[in-house]
Amino acid sequence: MSTTTAVVRKNTYFDSVSLMSVSTKANALDGVEQAFTAMGTEMNKGVLDNLGLLTEELRAAESGDLMVVLVAEDGADTDALLAEIEGLLTRKAPASADGGQVTYRTVTSAAEGVPGANLAVIAVNGAYAAREARKALESGLHVMMFSDNVAVEDEIALKQLAHEKGLFMMGPDCGTAIVNNVALCFGNKVRPGTIGIVAASGTGSQEVSVRVHALGGGVSQLIGTGGRDLSEQVGGIMMVDGIRALAADPATDVIVLVSKPPAPSVEKKVLAEVAAAGKPVVVWFIDGSEEAVTAAGGHFAAGSLQAAQQAVELAGVAPAPTEDLDAAAAADAVVARLADGQKYVRGLFCGGTLCDETMYAVRDAGLDVFSNIQKNADFRLPAGSASRGHTFLDFGDDDFTNGRPHPMIDPALRIERIVEEAKDPEVAALVMDFVLGFGSHEDPVGTTLPAIEEGQRIAREAGRHLEVVAYVLGTDLDTPSVAAQTAALRAAGVTVTLSSTETGQFAREIAKKAQA
């Protein structure tokens, strides 16, 4: 049997909306069959009468009296429930948690409402990204567009609009920028300095920035362009504007350009800007040629490390001493431990440019390399297919990321692949990268080590030595630091290389010697 309790608090006023709200909450309390808080008006007493709850005491209540009626479930503690309802009546709303901060719903309103807003980071689904970017540009904001899967026509229109307005349109598919010493999306904590970078490649520019830092230099700005900027269609609009902005920036002394080789017409346009910059410009076009760069008065870099070294030197910084690996000697030591039939290097990368640099180093030794990002169709491996020969996979490429987070955030696919490759008796070495910094996984080495150890165990049990080579892209200022991640790898018997360039050299030597 349920029990009904009625309380009349004389001369106690609450407004009807608050009381309805309290009633609704009271009805949700455990043990309450029905609860009713209302002023003693004729209308409310009529409702109670209809429900058969109007006691004599309630009938005597006046419109200035508060009525609390509780129908409690059998066995419920009536006094405790009444106290809870009392608590609901006296509850003070907590002070607004956000201190009255405004939540904006659109780029346009935020641009209008936030004084000093100057850049929009756009990371929405590609289907919506162009529209958001246009609104940002129309509101006078620079744009960094992390989103990919944006039509090239949209990219061109956005970059033209930005150019007309003198704004940056970094991206689409721009993963890295450092603006006023703030790293955006994927970026590392590096020392402020006088070296400005304009890059069409995310991890390529991250690598240059961390090498500059390791050599004692610092970065003024790192402007991303998106990977398609230097294509024939887009025509390098953002790279040209980026060069001009850094040329005009009094805080920048040296400019570094990072890109895959541009379309020929675009290369010409970019190199004309190099010639006109009025500042030293280091050009690292991955797999690019020296002649044109030198002719334009630029400083040619064959690799990421060289690009950083030249930039630091040109900036007048005495390069900090760094360790070097004797790649040939180290490779001899590795090859000595290999069993018969262990011939191939398998590269499993998160960073596209890091994959490129190592892959090209192996290819330049005259070896065949297969990859999901090979330009030559004869050597291209689609994402789902098994490795063959020397294989280099970029897990950050679209065919792997389709519908998944980037492997720098979630390396699950690569982790599976490590174990798979370890089972292959033809594999001599696994080469991989770990990218630290803002945006990346909080402990990429820690989450991958179990798979590395399992791979080593599988090889060992089959009587093979599996060489695991890893490069950690990061600085001593990153969290976790490059030192901590390196130590964890070394403890597991992994050979840690100290730059992307060195990773390529070591992989090349192993590949050459193992296949010989």
414 to 473, contacts with other proteins by CB under 8 A? 438-439
Using rule CB under 8 A, residue 221 touches other proteins = yes
3-state secondary structure 360-422: HHHHCCCCCEEECCCCCHHHECCCCCCCCCEEEEECCCHHHHCCCCCCCCCCHHHHHHHHHHH
Q: In the bound complex, what is the minimum distance in angstroms from residue 439's beta carbon to other proteins?
A: 6
Q: In the bound complex, what is the minimum distance in angstroms from residue 17's beta carbon to other proteins?
A: 5
Using rule CB under 8 A, residue 107 touches other proteins = yes
Nearest-5° angle of CA 402, CA 405, CA 410? 130
Q: Which residue in 6, 8, 36, 150 binds other proteins (CB under 8 A)?
A: 36
Q: Which is nearer to other proteins, 78 or 374 (CB)?
A: 78
**Which pairing describes strands 344-349 and 390-394: parallel, antiparallel, or unpaired?**
parallel
Using rule CB under 8 A, residue 174 touches other proteins = no
Q: Which stretch binds other proteins (CB under 8 A): 21-29, 320-328, 340-348, 367-375?
A: 21-29
Q: Determine the size of the site formed for other proteins (CB under 8 A).
A: 72
21 burial type by CB count under 10 A (0-12 exposed, 13-18 middle, 19+ buried): middle
Question: Quick check: 170 and 145 in contact, CB under 8 A?
Answer: yes
Q: Which residue in 60, 83, 114, 152 binds other proteins (CB under 8 A)?
A: 114
Q: Which residue in 11, 74, 75, 103 binds other proteins (CB under 8 A)?
A: 103
Residues in 41-70 that interact with other proteins by CB under 8 A: 43, 47, 51, 69
Using rule CB under 8 A, residue 35 touches other proteins = yes
Between the two ends of the chain, the Cα-to-Cα distance in Å is: 90
Residues in 329-368 that interact with other proteins by CB under 8 A: none
Q: 344 pairs with which residues across the strands?
A: 427
Q: Which stretch binds other proteins (CB under 8 A): 90-98, 303-311, 382-390, 483-491?
A: 90-98
Residues in 254-293 that interact with other proteins by CB under 8 A: none
Q: In the bound complex, what is the minimum distance in angstroms from residue 38's beta carbon to other proteins?
A: 7
In this structure, which amino acid lies at residue 433? D
Q: Which residue in 10, 63, 79, 106 binds other proteins (CB under 8 A)?
A: 106
In this structure, which amino acid lies at residue 266? V
Question: Quick check: 314 and 282 in contact, CB under 8 A?
Answer: yes
Sheet holding 3-9, edge to edge: 3-9, 66-72, 32-39
Q: In the bound complex, what is the minimum distance in angstroms from residue 243's beta carbon to other proteins?
A: 11
Q: In the bound complex, what is the minimum distance in angstroms from residue 405's beta carbon to other proteins?
A: 10
Using rule CB under 8 A, residue 161 touches other proteins = no
Q: Which is nearer to other proteins, 133 or 234 (CB)?
A: 133
SS3 label, residue 96: coil
Q: Which is nearer to other proteins, 175 or 204 (CB)?
A: 175
Q: Which residue in 128, 268, 289, 398 binds other proteins (CB under 8 A)?
A: 128
Question: Quick check: 383 and 467 in contact, CB under 8 A?
Answer: no
Using rule CB under 8 A, residue 13 touches other proteins = no
Q: Which is nearer to other proteins, 98 or 323 (CB)?
A: 98
Contact pattern from residue 179 through residue 198 relative to other proteins, giving x for each residue in contact according to CB under 8 A and a dash for the rest: xxxxxxx---x---------
Dihedral angle of Cα 498, 502, 506, 507, to the nearest 10 degrees: 100
Q: Which residue in 3, 63, 118, 289 binds other proteins (CB under 8 A)?
A: 118
Q: In the bound complex, what is the minimum distance in angstroms from residue 124's beta carbon to other proteins?
A: 4
Residues 6+ apart with CB under 8 A from 43: none
Q: Which is nearer to other proteins, 34 or 447 (CB)?
A: 34
Q: Which residue in 119, 365, 367, 449 binds other proteins (CB under 8 A)?
A: 119
Q: Which stretch binds other proteins (CB under 8 A): 131-139, 298-306, 311-319, 507-515?
A: 131-139
Nearest-5° angle of CA 15, CA 16, CA 17? 95
Question: Quick check: 234 and 262 in contact, CB under 8 A?
Answer: no
Nearest-5° angle of CA 103, CA 147, CA 473? 105
Using rule CB under 8 A, residue 78 touches other proteins = no
Q: Which residue in 116, 384, 403, 463 binds other proteins (CB under 8 A)?
A: 116
Q: 468 pairs with which residues across the strands?
A: 430
Q: In the bound complex, what is the minimum distance in angstroms from residue 77's beta carbon to other proteins?
A: 21
Question: Quick check: 475 and 308 in contact, CB under 8 A?
Answer: no
From residue 41, how far is each of 23, 37, 50, 230, 452 by CA, in Å?
16, 12, 14, 77, 75
The span from the CA of 29 to the CA of 477, in Å, is: 52
Instruction: Please write down the long-range contacts of 46-50, taking CB distance under 8 Å and 24 or more positions apart.
Output: none
Greatest pairwise CA separation for the chain in angstroms: 104
Q: Which residue in 82, 124, 263, 367 binds other proteins (CB under 8 A)?
A: 124
Residues in 233-252 that interact with other proteins by CB under 8 A: 241, 244-245, 248-249, 251
Using rule CB under 8 A, residue 322 touches other proteins = no
Q: Which is nearer to other proteins, 37 or 353 (CB)?
A: 37
Residues 6+ apart with CB under 8 A from 162: 137, 142, 143, 168, 169, 237, 238, 241
Q: Which is nearer to other proteins, 180 or 294 (CB)?
A: 180
Q: Which residue in 8, 81, 85, 146 binds other proteins (CB under 8 A)?
A: 146
